[in-house]
Amino acid sequence: MANDKVYIHEFIDIIGHNRADYMHHMTANWSPIAQEERHQLCYGVWGIVGSTGQWPATVNMWEEDGWDGLARSFGHELGHAHLQDPKLARWWARASEFRSGGFDRILVPAPWSPTVEELCAQGAGGVVYAHDQVTVPAGTAGDYLALARDSGGSFYAEHGWRLIGAFETALRNDDEAFLLWSIPSWEQWGAAEAALRVGHPWRERQRAAVTDVKRILLVDAPLSPLRIGRQPGRADRDDSWSEE
């Protein structure tokens, strides 16, 4: 079945030593509310491995019920004078203690890219994830995703990697794509990177198709769905931020 969801992708800047608190606040305290009020699912919350990218920082992804679902979610959040759901004022205040800002995108999945419920059912999580942000010539993002699946996928599969997410960035000129690879062990990550540096046809095919690739490594938050095999629920909440 084709994936007709739409995703919010976030790079989040963390204040000081608050990354663990922020990841818990998003998974345990935000996600159950988003599921109930918006049918927005948590696709993943990850800490960025600082040696591979910005630190301290996280990547968050949220799964919406297509463009209609995203529109409803925006309307729910932004239909107020302060552009925030007033019921969540204390939640926002608490979150602001942990983060200083971020940068978001809207992503559209390749039809064959699994939903988060499918990934959880398949036990598709990894010890570590490779997150590729790829710039391509205008109009070729979809073509690149197919190339990565067919050519890149066969190379990485030799090292135990699995392509679990493939997305085009919306609201721009079809010139950016994101890939998410699930990796069973740190050793299998290192082995693939070493083999790629020695030389492999996939590397040359990728070079011919892109203008830039930025890879960072991610590790699941403790309550990230791919780690626990389900959506975080009310039982995971601490409600320390709530007036209820």
- Choose the final residue of a domain: 79, 110, 141: 110
Domain assignment of residue 185, given as a range = 116-220
Reported as type and span, the H/E element at residue 135 is strand 128-135
> Is 242 a domain residue?
no
Q: Note whether 125 and 174 are same-domain residues.
A: yes
> Is 144 a domain residue?
yes
DSSP string over 145-193: HHHIIIIIHHHHHTTT-EEEEEEEESSS-S-EEEEEEEES-HHHHHHHH
What's residue 80's pLDDT? 76
Q: Note whether 105 and 136 are same-domain residues.
A: no
Q: What angle do CA 210, 212, 214 make, to 5 degrees?
A: 125
What's residue 170's pLDDT? 98
Q: Note whether 36 and 98 are same-domain residues.
A: yes
> Is 239 a domain residue?
no
Q: Note whether 124 and 216 are same-domain residues.
A: yes
Q: Note whether 97 and 137 are same-domain residues.
A: no
Neighbours of 75 (CB within 10 A): 10
Instruction: Please tell me the distance from the alpha carbon of residue 177 to that of residue 164, in angstroms, as a whole number.
Output: 14
Output phi, psi for 15, to 5 deg: -90, 120
What's residue 78's pLDDT? 84
Q: Is 82 left (phi over 0), alpha (psi -120 to 50) or beta?
A: alpha
- Choose the final residue of a domain: 110, 128, 163: 110
> Is 22 a domain residue?
yes
Domain of residue 34, CATH code: 3.30.70.100
Q: Note whether 94 and 120 are same-domain residues.
A: no
Q: Note whether 106 and 120 are same-domain residues.
A: no
> Is 234 a domain residue?
no
> Is 230 a domain residue?
no
> Is 1 a domain residue?
no
Encoding tokens for residue 124?
A: 């598709």
**pLDDT per residue as tens, the chain (244 positions):** 799 999 999 999 999 999 999 999 999 999 998 999 889 999 999 999 999 999 999 999 999 999 999 999 999 888 877 767 776 778 889 999 999 999 999 999 999 999 999 999 999 999 999 999 999 999 999 999 999 999 999 999 999 999 999 999 999 999 999 999 999 999 999 999 999 999 889 999 999 999 999 999 999 999 999 999 999 988 887 766 664 4
Q: Note whether 150 and 166 are same-domain residues.
A: yes
Q: Note whether 38 and 83 are same-domain residues.
A: yes
- Choose the final residue of a domain: 91, 110, 129: 110
The pTM is what?
Answer: 0.95
Q: Note whether 106 and 136 are same-domain residues.
A: no
Contact 137, 184 (CB under 8 A): no
What's residue 141's pLDDT? 98
> Is 163 a domain residue?
yes
Domain count, the chain: 2
